[in-house]
Amino acid sequence: MYVKNETLKTILGKTIEIPDKEALVHIQFRRFAGCPVCNLHLQSFARRQRQIEDAGIHEVIIFHSSREELLTYTSGFPFDLVADPNKQLYKDYGVESSLWAILNPFAFISIIFGIVNSILEFLLGQRPLPSFRPEGGSFGLPADFLIGTDGKIIDCYYGRHADDHWSVEKLLHIAELANQKKLKTI
C-alpha cells in the first residue's frame, strides 16, 4: 500500500513532502495540543532525536489542533509538527477516536503520570496547563506509520488507547529491518 504524494506545512511554515525522497518518514498521529500522555511520549522521542535521525528517519507529528494551539504547547520539540484541526489527514489515514482512548485501563497510569508531569511543567513555567476542553476533543487515538522513500507504507500501527503507540525502540527496529529489506511492506 502506498501513500499519496502530499505537501504538508508545519506550524513553523516549513513545507515538507510525503514521501521524503531522502529519508524514511515516521508519521505520528497524536491527540490534541497539550495532551499530557502525548507530551510524555514526544519527550521520549526528543531525547533520542539524534539516534532517530542517524537511522535515516524524518519525524512528522500530526495533531488535531490548530496551529495557534500547537504553538502554545509544543515549544522545544525538534520535530516537524503539523496542525490538522479538521482531521482531514486523520480521515485519509483511517485514524479514529474512541471513548476508550482514556477509559482503557492500560492508559490510566500514563494519564495520571502525564497529568502530574503537566502540573510540574506548569509550576516550573515550562508549559501552560492542558485545556479541559481541547480542540478536536480528547478521545483521539494515536497511530504510527513508517513510510519508505517510494511512498510505500513499510509498517503501521493503530493505537487502542491514548498510550498505545510505537516506542523509539520499536521504530528503530522496524526501520532497521526495512533498511535490511527483511520486512515485507503491507
Alpha-carbon distance of 124 to 147, in angstroms, equals: 37
3-class SS at 142? coil
Question: Is the distance from CB of 39 to CB of 76 less than 8 angstroms?
Answer: no
Whole-model pTM above 0.85?
Answer: no
Task: Enumerate residues 6+ apart whose C-beta is below 8 A from 109.
Answer: none
- The highest-level CATH class for domain 6-179 is alpha beta
What are the grid coordinates assigned to 59, written together? Answer: 519525524
Task: Enumerate residues 6+ apart whose C-beta is below 8 A from 100.
Answer: 160, 161
What are the grid coordinates assigned to 55, written together? Answer: 537511522
Per residue in 70-116, pLDDT tens? Answer: 998 887 789 999 999 999 999 999 998 765 566 666 776 777 777 77
pLDDT in tens, the chain (186 residues): 999 999 999 999 999 999 999 999 999 999 878 778 778 889 899 999 999 999 999 999 999 999 998 998 887 789 999 999 999 999 999 998 765 566 666 776 777 777 776 677 777 877 766 666 767 666 789 999 999 999 999 999 999 888 889 999 999 999 999 988 755 555
